[in-house]
């Protein structure tokens, strides 16, 4: 008898050790693609738990985070890459929760988000390995909890989750990553720059997954997607979207011409 995908996803979500979480996420993908997991069962959906995470890094308000402007030193690059690794670790949790929490969606939805989860796990592992080469490790610097807070705020509705996590928070990564790649190359760290190129490529796909399922849910509910997206940004983020925007990558991620026009007007 097949195991429940939802039970297995929750188990991975609640795993605290980063290496074990990544391993469980990769195993979950292997089970899924082997046809060993069922969309039946899973029990009643639990209230959104805090995800499994290690005692370190300490979580602090964003204003208390260390500065990331000394990329010419290994220690300075470790601070920057630690912040990115923390984002990727949270992205694993967000993808696992998108699988666990939202039921009765097409099978392709779960396939897409399991694939996102395993790619985010790979990103975290690549960044952590590089940080260790800089004589540091994940957990050595403070981090903030903004990404998971958005999971809390969107736990009630997959349409809201698809709009605001991949299409706002992850899309912001598309905006800033090209500049970070240039800075790391200038700092003499081509290996870190190569990791970020891989992440950029994958993240275009992740935002596209969010766009695909946002449009699916809009169509299912008879909603116009452009107006709905910006209405949700206004409702949940008081209309705040940070520019400048990487319109080229956003086109590849499925943003519509009307959305890009509004983004241009914002930044």
Q: Report yes or no on 61 lying in a domain.
A: no
Q: Report yes or no on 53 lying in a domain.
A: no
Q: Note whether 88 and 130 are within 8 A (CB).
A: no
Q: What is the pLDDT of residues 94-136, one digit of tens each?
A: 999 999 999 999 999 999 999 999 999 999 999 999 999 999 9
Domain count of the fold of the chain: 1
Q: Is 143 helix (H, G, I), strand (E, B) or coil?
A: strand
Mean pLDDT of the region 70-90: 94
Sign of CA dihedral 256, 259, 265, 267: negative
Q: Report yes or no on 52 lying in a domain.
A: no
At residue 243, the pLDDT reads 84
Q: Domain residues for 77?
A: 3-41+66-266
Beta bridge mates, 38: 4
Q: Report yes or no on 57 lying in a domain.
A: no
Q: What is the pLDDT of residues 38-53, one digit of tens each?
A: 999 888 887 876 899 9
Q: Is 205 helix (H, G, I), strand (E, B) or coil?
A: helix
- Residue spans of alpha helices (H) in the chain: 5-14, 18-33, 74-101, 107-133, 146-153, 158-164, 171-186, 190-221, 225-237, 247-252, 257-266
Q: Report yes or no on 256 lying in a domain.
A: yes
CB-side neighbour CA atoms (13 Å) of 168: 25
Question: Does the N-terminal peptide bond of residue 244 adopt cis geometry, omega within 30 degrees of 0?
Answer: yes
Query: At 241, which helix (H) or strand (E)?
Result: none
Q: Report yes or no on 8 lying in a domain.
A: yes
Q: Note whether 57 and 124 are within 8 A (CB).
A: no
Mean pLDDT of the region 65-88: 90
Q: Report yes or no on 98 lying in a domain.
A: yes
Q: Report yes or no on 56 lying in a domain.
A: no
């Amino acid at each position: 008898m097949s195991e429940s995908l939802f039970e297995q996803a929750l188990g991975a979500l609640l795993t605290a050790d980063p290496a074990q979480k990544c391993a469980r996420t990769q195993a979950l993908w292997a089970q899924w693609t082997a046809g060993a997991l069922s969309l039946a069962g899973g029990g009643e959906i639990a209230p959104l738990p805090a995800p499994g995470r290690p005692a370190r890094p300490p979580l602090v308000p964003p204003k208390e985070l260390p500065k990331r402007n000394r990329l010419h030193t290994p220690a300075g690059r470790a601070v920057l890459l630690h912040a990115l690794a923390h984002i990727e670790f949270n992205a694993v949790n967000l993808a696992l929760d998108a699988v666990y929490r939202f039921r009765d969606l097409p099978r392709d939805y779960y396939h897409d988000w399991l694939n996102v989860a395993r790619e985010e796990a790979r990103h975290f592992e690549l960044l952590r390995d590089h940080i260790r080469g800089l004589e540091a490790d994940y957990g050595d610097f403070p981090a903030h909890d903004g990404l998971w807070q958005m999971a809390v705020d969107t736990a009630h509705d997959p349409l809201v989750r698809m709009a605001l996590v991949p299409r706002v928070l992850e899309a912001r990564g598309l905006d800033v990553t090209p500049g970070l790649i240039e800075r790391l190359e200038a700092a003499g760290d081509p290996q870190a720059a190569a990791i970020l190129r891989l992440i950029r490529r994958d993240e275009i796909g992740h935002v596209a997954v969010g766009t695909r399922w946002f449009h699916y849910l809009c169509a299912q509910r008879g909603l116009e997607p452009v107006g709905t997206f910006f209405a949700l940004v206004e409702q949940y983020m008081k209309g705040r979207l940070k520019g400048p925007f990487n319109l080229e990558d956003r086109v590849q991620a499925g943003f519509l011409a009307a959305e890009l026009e509004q983004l241009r007007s914002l930044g």
